[in-house]
Amino acid sequence: MNTTRELRVRPIVSGTVIDHIVAGQAINVLRILGITGVSDAVVSMIMNVPSNTLGHKDIVKIENRELKEKEVDKISLISPSTSINIIRDYEVVDKYNVEMPSTVEGMVKCTNPNCISNTNEPVTSKFIVQNDPFRLRCLYCEHVISEQIAQYLL
Amino acid sequence: MEFHRNHIISMKDFTRDEIDYILDRAGKLESLARSGRSDILSGKILALLFYEPSTRTRMSFETAMLRLGGNVLNLGSKDASSVIKGETLADTIRVISTYSDAIVLRHTSEGAAQMAMEFSSVPIINGGDGAGHHPTQTLLDLYTIKRESSLEHPDVAIVGDLKYGRTVHSLTYALSLYGANITFVSPQQLKMPDQIIGDLKARGAHVNETENLDQVLNNIDVLYMTRIQKERFPDPTEYNKVANAYKITNKQLAHVRQNMIIMHPLPRINEIDSSIDNTAHARYFQQSFYGVPIRMALLTIVMGTDI
Ligand SMILES: [Zn+2]
């Protein structure tokens, strides 16, 4: 299996392998995880690996870290094909595909500057996730974000 | 049909049956809206919280509440900006909802009413939020079409600023529920956003677009005119050109359908020549009045009162 071979090439003792990332989105995945520069994290990032299902894909491996639900939800928004492999003692102990939530709260900034969620009011942004075509609709002002979502992640 | 709704926020919250229910109730209240006073909402207090001026909307809510025998707490835009200065809308709503039985909110930010609903212990009626929703306007527009024309698959042309126009987006959504044939007439730079056109088509609505008003004038039941605002045009010559192209005078009405009605959310600038006011086509002043029975209907619905 592809994943196993990858793991053999660069095995990590424990941590997370984020696989089947839409090609080009690995950097945004790192941003979501807060790995943007100076950090102690041991991270490897592989871009544009040939993939049977995606054509090309990116992979991110992080040692000694498992992802929070909110991080996984954010990743699903920018790369719905992503699979998460949790590694402990060189073994894949859990593997699952990310799933897009039906609503997202406090994760994405509304693109409408005049939206109430962009004021000093005590509200967090809320979006309804719609599919076919994929888009986020602001619960407050109904503005829609359909592309370059990574740019608006909070 | 049983219909309970605590808050009136967006037209998109309503099904056609629910809209019909509201229009029917407005019909029952129309004669009371013209004169007299009842005790349907006696003892109830309606707070009008307006962060930007809108005389028409505010006064018609006030009239509606008074005709129903209720009372009004009026916090105009001046008070709202000075008294509430520095306080969040959320806090203001929490406080005002302890003073009143329902709140009408008009605010400058889109989504304000939706947020207010989360903090209010009483019903919120959206009196317009920024460039967003204005459901009571849409409902009175529908009521006007129903009373003065027909809501059964009407041929409607909507003219003017379709890009920023607050009222037209939710109106087109609602009209699509009635199988309307809608033609959007606007200059290129004020076109209805593609996304809304896409949404309408996806729902099976019949929509067309044109820049030429004369092309559609003779084949419609309803002509819905809107303002074109000067601020949208950096170049005044361009504004004048556009404003003149989307202006209607008596002369253009020679071959229109006999029962064609002309509507406008008012105030108008010069989109409709005053020579039209006395023709059988003009309905904009009736339209303005119909805001009263519609708002009476909504007030009785959100306060859970039978009529
Ligand atoms: Zn928004």
- Mean pLDDT for chain B overall: 92
Ligand 1 mean position, distance from CA B135 (Å): 18
Same-domain pairing of A137 and A86: no
Write out residues in chain A with pLDDT < 70, as ranges: 1-10
Which of these ranges, A102-111, B228-237, B254-263, B292-301, has the smallest mean pLDDT?
B228-237
Number of C-beta neighbours around residue B274 at 10 A: 11
Closest alpha carbon to B272 in B220, B232, B213: B213
Determine whether the interchain pair B111/A140 forms a contact, defined as Cβ–Cβ distance below 8 Å. yes
Q: What pLDDT does B244 receive?
A: 82
Same-domain pairing of A88 and A122: no
Q: How far apart are CA B222 and CA B150, in angstroms?
A: 9
Please report the domains of chain B, with CATH numbers, ordered by start residue.
11-133+291-302 (3.40.50.1370), 136-288 (3.40.50.1370)
Of the two residues B73 and B76, the one the predictor is more confident about is B73
Q: Report B:5-64 residues touching A (Cβ under 8 A).
A: 10, 12
For B128, name the nearest residue in chain A, comparing CA atoms only: A141
The reply to whether A3 falls in a domain is no
Q: What pLDDT does A38 receive?
A: 79
pLDDT at B2 over 80: no
pLDDT at B57 over 70: yes
Q: What pLDDT does B86 receive?
A: 77
Q: How many domains, in total, are found in chain A?
A: 2
Q: What pLDDT does A41 receive?
A: 80
Q: What pLDDT does B245 receive?
A: 83
Ligand 1 mean position, distance from CA A108 (Å): 10
Distances in whole angstroms, Cα of residue B11 to Cα of each of A12, A77, B133, B168, B177? 54, 28, 8, 11, 11
Q: What pLDDT does A8 receive?
A: 44
Same-domain pairing of A62 and A126: no
For A117, name the nearest residue in chain B, comparing CA atoms only: B111
Reduce the secondary structure of B129-185 to three states and give it as a string.
ECCCCCHHHHHHHHHHHHHHCCCCCCEEEEECCCCCCHHHHHHHHHHHHCCCEEEEE
Q: Which two tokens stand for residue A63?
A: 């040692």
pTM: predicted TM-score of the whole model, two decimal places: 0.89
For chain B, the distance separating the N- and C-terminal CA atoms, rounded to the nearest angstrom, is 14
What's the domain range around A29?
15-97
pLDDT at B139 over 50: yes
Q: How far apart are CA A28 and CA A25, in angstroms?
A: 5
Distances in whole angstroms, Cα of residue B171 to Cα of each of A70, B43, B108, B139, B224? 37, 34, 20, 8, 10
Of A97, A117, A144, which one is at a domain's C-terminal end? A97
Of the two residues A39 and B183, the one the predictor is more confident about is B183
Determine whether the interchain pair B88/A114 forms a contact, defined as Cβ–Cβ distance below 8 Å. no
Same-domain pairing of A31 and A78: yes
Specify the CATH number for the domain of residue A52.
3.30.70.140
Q: What pLDDT does B77 receive?
A: 61
Q: How far apart are CA A52 and CA A61, in angstroms?
A: 20
pLDDT in tens, B238-266: 888 888 889 999 999 999 999 999 999 99
Q: What pLDDT does B163 receive?
A: 86
Determine whether the interchain pair A114/B109 forms a contact, defined as Cβ–Cβ distance below 8 Å. yes
The reply to whether A68 falls in a domain is yes
The reply to whether A7 falls in a domain is no
Residues of B with active-site annotation: 56-57, 85, 106, 134
Check CB contact of B278 with chain A, cutoff 8 Å: no
Closest alpha carbon to B187 in B235, B245, B132: B245
Determine whether the interchain pair A138/B111 forms a contact, defined as Cβ–Cβ distance below 8 Å. yes
Q: How far apart are CA B213 and CA A78, in angstroms?
A: 43
Chain A residues contacting B via beta carbons under 8 Å:
112, 114-117, 119-123, 138-144
Strand-pairing partners, residue A128, are: A103, A137
Same-domain pairing of A72 and A108: no
Q: Answer for the pair A41, A28: CB distance below 8 angstroms, yes or no.
A: no
Q: What pLDDT does B235 receive?
A: 86
pLDDT at B78 over 70: no
pLDDT in tens, B90-135: 999 999 999 999 999 999 999 999 999 999 999 999 999 988 789 9
Q: Report the amino acid identity of residue A112.
A: N
